[in-house]
A = this chain, B = another copy of it.
Amino acid sequence: SSNIRLAVIPGDGIGTEVVAEGLKVLNAAGVKVETTEYDLGAKRYHATGEVLPDAVLDELRGYDAIVLGAVGDPSVPPGILERDLLLRLRFELDHYVNLRPVKLFPGVETPLGKARPEDIDMVVVREGTEGLYAGAGGTLRRGTPHEIATQESLNTAYGVERVVRYAFEKAAQRPRKKLTLVHKTNVLTYAGDLWARTVARVSQEYPQVETDYCHIDAASMFFITQPERFDVIVTDNLFGDIITDIGAAVAGGIGLAASGNINPDRTAPSMFEPVHGSAPDIAGQGKADPTATILSIAMLLDHLGLTAAAEKVEQAVAEDLVERQGARATRQTREIGDDIASRVAG
């Protein structure tokens, strides 16, 4: 088969370090891959003022998939790289599914004293192209005592239905077959009504899937007190942002949390990135855990239909996580990558 063409955006801070290990593991999996690196992020912004030139965006559209490390640096005004690079990619490439597994691997320490791996094994399907992330809103009389600032959540039947359908498909494929809508229907009545009606309607096509509903506040609590309640979760962009960070916390930390920004219709490449940021405080020291990126690579392989390779990578990570008990703090970024890569190759 022909090579997989991959665009790689290492980005800033630890982004470059973890992406190197992700690619190492990808190569170890024996996947024929051709990578092209794009220097987007803080350096490019400072050097040229550019964040994501249209021509680069157009080029990116031509790849099979994108791998992103992390963007952001204290030297760049907050929000610029997030909005004009990260979120712009998600919106322009129509990544309407932001897929974030929340899984406690055996051997991994969780801050929850009593949780066991079988209690924390879910997938969050976060909407990626609507809601409060649309950027709608405005400011009037800025800086005066009469200022008002608005922020609008935009939700469409089109946008909600497609992500809900994806979530039902996902749930139907899993042993528990349970889908929980997380929203705040008692307060966000217009948007909540659209989400709830859509889930109710689509559920009729999936009689084998049990559906449930949970307010975002209660769900945030249950992630901590009863994570075993959840199998697949579908939720809007902002609630998904929050709840997947809670998920990362309970499943052993941001160093392990993977994500895929997925365009299920394949009209543009999907993008895979660790949930963590660029962590400038530990950048360049070999301290970052590349595992989240490596698990994101497994998601990429799965998305491209390379299921066996995906499983091999996830299995290697699982084994590494069991082995690393006790040795946690002692390996460098590169050593963790090496160890996982040799398990994959071996």
Closest CB in chain B relative to A230 CB, distance in Å: 14
Contact status A78-B185, CB under 8 Å: yes
Contact, CB under 8 Å: B145 / A157: yes
Of the candidate stretches A49-57, A167-175, A203-211, A241-249, the one touching chain B is A241-249
Kindly state whether residue A220 has any CB partner on chain B within 8 Å.
yes
Inter-subunit contact A111/B245 (CB<8 Å): no
In the bound complex, how far is the Cα of B148 from the Cα of A190, in angstroms?
Answer: 9
Does A268 lie at the interface of the complex (its beta carbon under 8 Å from any beta carbon of B)? no
CB-based contact B149/A254 at 8 Å: no
| Contact, CB under 8 Å: B188 / A132 | yes
A245 to B133, CA, bound (A): 23
Among residues 106 to 158 in chain A, which have CB atoms less than 8 Å away from a CB atom of chain B? 110-114, 132-133, 135, 137-139, 141, 143-158
> B221 to A135, Cβ gap below 8 A?
no
- In the complex, whether A335 has a CB less than 8 A from a CB of chain B is no
A220: B residues at CB distance < 8 A = 220, 242-243, 245-246, 249
CA–CA, A191 to B139, complex, Å? Answer: 8
How many chain copies? 2
Contact of A242 among B147, B191, B217 (CB under 8 A): B217
Q: Would you give the shortest CB distance from A201 to chain B, in whole angstroms?
A: 9
Per-position contact with B for A310-332: 1 when CB-CB < 8 Å, else 0?
00000000000000000000000
State how many residues of chain A have any CB contact under 8 Å with chain B. 64
Bound Cα distance A246, B241 (Å) = 15
**CB atoms of A144 and B132 under 8 A apart:** no
Say whether A218 faces chain B, with CB atoms less than 8 Å apart: yes
A88: min CB distance to chain B, Å: 12
Interface string of A213-247 (1 = CB under 8 A from B): 00011101100110000000000001001111110
Query: Is A184 an interface residue, CB under 8 A from the partner?
Result: yes
Q: Is A283 an interface residue (CB 8 A)?
A: no
Task: Let me know if A83 is at the binding interface, CB within 8 A.
Answer: yes
Interchain CB contact under 8 A, B79 and A189: yes
Would you call A82 an interface residue if the criterion is a C-beta within 8 Å of the partner chain's C-beta atoms?
yes
- Is the beta-carbon distance between B155 and A151 smaller than 8 angstroms? yes
- Bound: A137/B133 CA distance, A: 16
What 13 additional pairs, Cβ within 8 angstroms, besides A82-B187, A150-B155? A111-B114, A133-B187, A137-B152, A139-B193, A141-B157, A149-B190, A149-B191, A151-B155, A217-B242, A218-B245, A224-B249, A224-B250, A246-B246
**Chain A residues at the B interface, C-beta cutoff of 8 Å:** 78-79, 82-83, 87, 110-114, 132-133, 135, 137-139, 141, 143-158, 161, 184-191, 193-194, 197, 216-218, 220-221, 224-225, 238, 241-246, 248-250, 253-254
A-B contact pairs, 19 of them (CB 8 A): A79-B186, A111-B112, A111-B225, A135-B189, A137-B190, A145-B158, A146-B157, A146-B158, A148-B154, A148-B156, A149-B156, A150-B154, A150-B191, A151-B152, A152-B153, A218-B245, A220-B249, A224-B246, A246-B246
